Amino acid sequence: MKPSEKDLHKYRLKSFIKNESMALTSLAEKTGDRPKRKRVHDLRVSIRKMRSIVDNEIFKKLGKTLGKVRDLDVAIRNAKAYNLDNKKLKKERKHLRKKVKKSLKPSKLHKLNIKVRSATNEVNQNPNVPARAQEMIKRLHEWEHPLDNDDLHSFRKTIKEVRYLLEATGQKTDYLINLQDHLGKVHDLAVFARIYEKNPTIEKEREVQIEESKKLANPAIKRALAELRALT
């Protein structure tokens, strides 16, 4: 007997959370040992994927610390591209990397692994794809209005969560990835502009990315809403 679409969605969600829990556990151990740029980025993405399905304070706290390191990684790379001095940024990143190592020491890793297993068990026992989709529909409806520049960071977070839920159930999300990339550049350039004030080149590029993000937003919201409704 061929499984129903709802059963397939449940199966895919369970597989997604299983794979991400294993990835997160492995990445956390490696990042705690050596918090290099790619490891920090990959662990942060893995945490974001887990949080799109099951939120937890320990994931949120670790994700926030990793986010600060990631912002500096990008700022250092951008400073090099613009031929700007980045010695102060590298010193600050070194300090934050020590905080990451402290957050991922063996005792903290043990607690994190317990939370990861708990999250996995929660999804396995109650995948409830329709309820998760309804929550994302509600969140997306809040953005069905012309976006202000100050809205874009929070909007980006919502888009990430919608994207990961849709991916978890086997949907294609290239249009959300494209939007997320532009929103990410807006964020990175905003961080960069706060560090290197009154740089017209940076501001001009940021304005370009803002306009492109706003242009892509409404079509992406409409398509995502349709795909989320199909999960309910």
Give the residue from 157, 176, 185, 189 showing the smallest Cα distance to 223.
Answer: 176
pLDDT at 140: 96
Do 107 and 181 belong to one domain? no
Higher pLDDT, 224 or 119: 224
Query: What is the arithmetic mean of pLDDT over 87-97?
Result: 95
Do 27 and 100 belong to one domain? yes
pLDDT at 110: 93
Do 123 and 134 belong to one domain? no
Query: What is the arithmetic mean of pLDDT over 180-189?
Result: 96
Please provide residue 230's backbone torsions phi and psi, each rounded to the nearest 5 degrees: -65, -15
pLDDT at 197: 77
Do 27 and 71 belong to one domain? yes
CATH number (domain holding residue 45): 1.20.120
**Residue 198 in this model has a pLDDT that exceeds 80:** no
Do 119 and 134 belong to one domain? no
Do 102 and 199 belong to one domain? no
Predicted model pTM: 0.91
Q: Which of 6-20, 156-170, 191-205 has the lowest mean pLDDT?
A: 191-205
- The mean pLDDT of the chain is 93
End residue of a domain, out of 108, 127, 146:
127
SS3 2: coil
pLDDT at 200: 86
**Residue 131 in this model has a pLDDT that exceeds 90:** yes
End residue of a domain, out of 100, 127, 154:
127
Domain count, the chain: 2
Please tell me what DSSP assigns to residue 172. -
pLDDT at 45: 95
pLDDT tens sequence across 28-86: 999 999 999 999 999 999 999 999 898 778 888 899 999 999 999 999 999 998 888 99
Do 146 and 229 belong to one domain? yes
Do 145 and 211 belong to one domain? yes
Per-residue pLDDT band for 222 (boundaries 50, 70, 90) equals very high
Burial 182-207 (b: 16+ CB within 10 A, else e): bbbbbbbbbbbeebbeebeebeebbe
Do 107 and 138 belong to one domain? no
Do 136 and 185 belong to one domain? yes
Residue 39 belongs to what domain range? 1-127
Do 122 and 34 belong to one domain? yes
End residue of a domain, out of 75, 101, 127:
127
Do 77 and 147 belong to one domain? no
**Residue 97 in this model has a pLDDT that exceeds 80:** yes
